């Protein structure tokens, strides 16, 4: 397996961590790959579309671009770099303003100024190419694209185990895996793919902590956005780690443990 064979990397991660979902690859392209539909044809929301792709077989890839923005969530388009940050977002996700969306608010932040500071802290967001493509790893072409990151959905146990493997070859006990503030698509795409200028490098992003997407995810389901190089290193570390050498610890028989 080569470092760039993300079809195989996705398959190895899916098998090792017993995922019932499909790992998804994020990449940019200057030429639209044939047969891939625009995201808006599936749903306006990245979070909804990616979860459907991971859990089903009806859609294996989607794309978005500046030219196909109609019908897409404006926040999502901003979070992948195709439009500037909409001015009303800072009010909508905090405490609201009467002349913005009729005063609707999500109360995710204490005030609009705080949202603005978070936006500045993340830095400018730049798209990975004319088209941003998300595709199930198992359907990637033989001549694989330059994958920037993977998104994996799993149960709490599966995602905890993936985080533990990320720490396997790291001497920093704090920053290899973090839970960022922001939209679900930031956790799935923006940060792991390194689209925001100030994104911490060589870091995986766990979540999402965005409660507005709780309706689209089962309560036990989580996600991990993994930079491409890190995902390759995880696979290279599998055989030496607890996942292969102590699988009964990684995936214990919970029914037997509860009945002891």
Same domain, 18 and 120: no
Cα angle 104, 73, 44; round to 5: 115
In a domain, 75, yes or no: no
Q: Helix H segments across 123-210?
A: 156-167, 184-185
Residue 245 corresponds to which tokens in the numbers above?
């050498």
Same domain, 143 and 115: no
In a domain, 40, yes or no: yes
Q: Residue 2: what pLDDT?
A: 43
Domain that holds residue 209: 6-70+128-254
Same domain, 183 and 219: yes
What is the pTM assigned to this prediction?
0.94
Query: What's the number of domains the chain is made of?
Result: 2
Answer yes or no: are the C-beta atoms of 218 and 140 closer than 8 Å.
no
Residue where a domain terminates, one of 62, 96, 124: 124
Same domain, 32 and 62: yes
Residue where a domain terminates, one of 93, 108, 124: 124
Q: Residue 254: what pLDDT?
A: 78
Q: Residue 68: what pLDDT?
A: 86
Q: Residue 257: what pLDDT?
A: 57
Ranges of residues in the chain with a pLDDT under 70 are 1-4, 256-260
Same domain, 44 and 169: yes
Q: Residue 144: what pLDDT?
A: 81
Same domain, 221 and 106: no
């Amino acid at each position: 397996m080569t470092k760039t064979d993300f079809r195989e990397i996705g398959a190895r991660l899916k098998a090792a961590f017993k995922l019932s979902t499909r790992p998804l690859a994020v990449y940019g392209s200057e030429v639209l790959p044939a047969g891939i539909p625009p995201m808006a044809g599936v749903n306006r929301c990245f979070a909804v579309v990616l979860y459907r792709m991971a859990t089903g077989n009806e859609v294996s890839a989607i794309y978005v671009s500046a030219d196909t923005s109609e019908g897409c969530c404006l926040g999502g388009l901003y979070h992948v770099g195709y439009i500037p940050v909409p001015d009303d977002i800072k009010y909508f996700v905090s405490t609201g303003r009467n002349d913005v969306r009729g005063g609707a608010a999500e109360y995710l932040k204490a005030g609009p100024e705080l949202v603005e500071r978070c936006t500045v802290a993340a830095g400018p967001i730049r798209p990975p190419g004319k088209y941003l493509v998300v595709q199930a790893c198992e359907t990637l072409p033989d001549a694989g694209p330059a994958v920037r990151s993977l998104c994996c959905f799993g149960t709490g146990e599966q995602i905890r185990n993936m985080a533990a493997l990320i720490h396997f070859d790291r001497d920093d006990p704090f920053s290899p895996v973090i839970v960022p503030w922001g939209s679900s698509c930031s956790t799935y795409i923006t940060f792991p793919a390194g689209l925001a200028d100030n994104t911490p490098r060589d870091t995986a992003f766990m979540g999402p902590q965005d409660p507005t997407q709780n309706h689209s995810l089962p309560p036990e389901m989580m996600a991990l956005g993994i930079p491409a190089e890190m995902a390759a290193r995880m696979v290279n570390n599998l055989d030496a780690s607890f996942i292969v050498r102590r699988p009964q610890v990684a995936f214990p028989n919970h029914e037997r443990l509860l009945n002891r």
